Structure 1
Amino acid sequence: MSETLLFGLLVLACPIGMGVMMWMMMRGSGQPKPGQSKQQQKELAQLHAEVDELRARQDG
């Protein structure tokens, strides 16, 4: 019984760990990083706007 439980926990450890890591990475996106300067934030915003513009041209 205990061997089956241990094996089940080991099998679930990987997917649960991957899910937690993905959730933590997604949660932090979109926010400025602590070491980012204002210039880097401005440049990143400009690049996002350029990508949005190019996607709009491609779709329409």
Structure 2
Amino acid sequence: MESLLYGLALLACPVGMGAMMWMMMRGQRTGSGTLKGPDQVAELRSEIDLLKAERAAQRAKGGL
């Protein structure tokens, strides 16, 4: 009986880690509302352009 408890305790960590990994991978596939592919690239490029324009405006005012 005691060796059975030790065996269960020994397996608890790897089984728990496997379950957590499975749940995390499953959560990524459901699509949490983030953009993928070309849409994401376009959004990031527009954000970069906006940040560049803000930085240029700050430099024109004598800021940074």
Shorter-normalised TM range: 0.5 to 0.7
Larger Rg: 2
Q: Provide the rounded CA distance (Å) in 1 between the counterparts of 2:32 and 2:2.
A: 46
Runs (4+) off by over 6 Å: none
State the number of aligned residues: 38
Percent identical:
59
Structure 1, unaligned runs of 5 or more? 34-40, 48-60
Gaps of 5+ in 2: 42-64
The one of the two structures with greater contact order (alpha-carbon pairs below 8 A, sep at least 6) is 1
1:14-53 equivalent positions in 2, closer than 5 A: 14-30=13-29, 31-32=31-32, 41=34, 44-45=35-36, 46-47=40-41
Q: TM-score, normalised by structure 1?
A: 0.54
Paired AA for residue 22 in structure 1? M
CA RMSD of aligned residues (A): 2.0
Tell me, what secondary structure is at the counterpart of 2:16? helix
